[in-house]
Amino acid sequence: MGPARTPAYEAAVRSARESYAALPPGAPVRLAKRTSNLFRRRDQTDAPRLDLGACAGVFDLDAAAGRALVGGLTTYEQLVDELLPHGCVPLVVPQLRTITIGGAVVGLGIESTSFRSGLPHESVVEMDVLTGSGEVVTATPDGEHADLFRAMPNSYGSLGYVLGLVVELERAGPWVLLEHHRFTDLDALVGTVRAVMDTREHDGRPVDFLDGVVFSADEAYLTLGRWSASTGGTAPSDYTGAEPYYRSIQHRRRDVLSAHDYLWRWDTDWFWCSRAFGAQQPLVRALWPRRLLRSDVYWRIMAFEQRRGWYAALQRRRGRPPQERVVQDVEIPLHRTADFLRWFLREVPIEPVWLCPVRLRATGVAPGASSPWPLYPMRAGEDYVNVGFWSAVDIPPGGRYGDTNRAVEEKVGALGGHKGLYSEAFYDEATFRDLYGGEQLDTARARYDPGGRLPTLYEKTVRSR
């Protein structure tokens, strides 16, 4: 039968309709949301906002069928807390706790299962969408609103808001066994990624999780993981203690984490970005409460500094140059990944960088053909590696803010890759339309937001409206 639309879920949808109806007629629609994982400036306004807070939680679960009905505003932390006791999790659990499942579907979501399970929107069976016209429609891959189903990924709220989704789940073991493999040659690393993606095993052992970290051109690691019913006799690690997880990769050959701790291994130190807040200094870390070693705490600290600018002012008084934020995730074709990494490590003074292989699950599309997801046109049948880098670089004399990001955009395009839009983008509008499904988006907006109440994708992601 699958999960059902329960009375609680129907009440949540009614609440969303009522919140939309209460907005001033014709006024632009903006979402009220307590957490955010976007790294781009946004216009601030005191105008009323759309409240979808009731659309959170697991409304129905069919563990036997491997499907659940969940609210679009459900964070992955809540999803894991509710689903893991039943022995199941979403096929892809993005690395930060406060990412919402609706946000991952309409934006960027990826993790170490993406080499076999693709992107979060590919495990969506159907979704209820509140459109810009105020209508709630059920979008499925082959129904009346299949055009909306295909256009929602990477739309970032420019077509509507996801109220609820039926999603596929997979069985989870209580433990994850890890192997860390060091590479001194980036081409060799890429070769191993290709072999694991093709066979889903390494040295005769199954691989359920695959990601990597590059510290330099001659020090990079792939981490291979698999579900396990036991720890294999090894004491499980806890990286809310003195050592951040990413440092353990450099000196441990094998490791064991609980399923919960593995899913949030990157959240504890916001990958490695907690070092910017002193959270990796031994004395500070010893005093920092373990329950506050999490990405949303660092986010609040960063947001406070962005509002106040105290640290930036101190740096200016010290004579330090201004900085450009370079926070990006890019998908590079696997066969060009080593080329991109060598260029990046030579031109951009940021390390480490994260690697996350991904292959679309899309079926019924010939290899190399157009993507079934027009707003983020990765090609079906082609292997990619998500490269993530999150830091800031000095702006040299005569330089301008955005120079490094523009160089990254140009290089990604030259290599046939794609750039996620959760952070700053610098494309001109014509280039942007070519890259992110301009014509298809226009057609979908004409049908689902004829009054233009929602910002366009370009307005949201480049102009920050």
Locate 249 and state its tokens: 């990769």
Cα–Cα distances (Å) from 408 to 87, 326, 352, 404, 415, in that order, read 41, 9, 16, 6, 11
Residue 261: which H helix or E strand, with range?
A: helix 259-263
Cα–Cα distances (Å) from 462 to 323, 399, 456, 458, 465, in that order, read 19, 20, 10, 5, 8
The predicted pLDDT at position 182 comes to 98
Q: Which residues are CB-neighbours of 379 under 8 A, at least 6 positions away?
A: 360, 367, 368, 369, 370, 371
The predicted pLDDT at position 310 comes to 66
The predicted pLDDT at position 311 comes to 64
Strand partners, 210: 224
CA distance 409 to 429: 14
- Ordered structural domains, the chain, with CATH: 7-172+448-461 (3.30.465.10), 321-426 (3.30.70)
Decide: 73 and 84 in contact? Cβ < 8 Å: no
Per-block average pLDDT, block size 10, for the chain (465 residues)? 86 95 84 63 66 95 96 97 97 96 93 97 96 94 94 95 97 98 98 98 97 97 98 93 95 97 97 92 93 91 76 72 93 98 97 97 56 88 95 93 96 96 94 94 95 92 81
Strand partners, 75: 100
Per DSSP, the residues of 160-213 read EEEEEEEEEEEE--SEEEEEEEEES-HHHHHHHHHHHHHHSEETTEE-SEEEEE
Residue 315, burial from CB neighbour count under 10 angstroms (0-12, 13-18, 19+): middle
**pTM, entire model:** 0.93
CA distance 196 to 51: 43
* Other Cβ atoms closer than 10 A to 368: 9
Residue 58: which H helix or E strand, with range?
A: strand 58-62
Q: Which amino acid is at 247?
A: R
Decide: 163 and 136 in contact? Cβ < 8 Å: yes
The predicted pLDDT at position 354 comes to 98
The predicted pLDDT at position 39 comes to 54
Taking the CA of residue 183 as centre, how many other CA atoms within 13 Å lie in the half-sphere pointing to its CB?
A: 18
Residue 151: which H helix or E strand, with range?
A: helix 146-151
Residue 415, burial from CB neighbour count under 10 angstroms (0-12, 13-18, 19+): middle
The predicted pLDDT at position 364 comes to 46
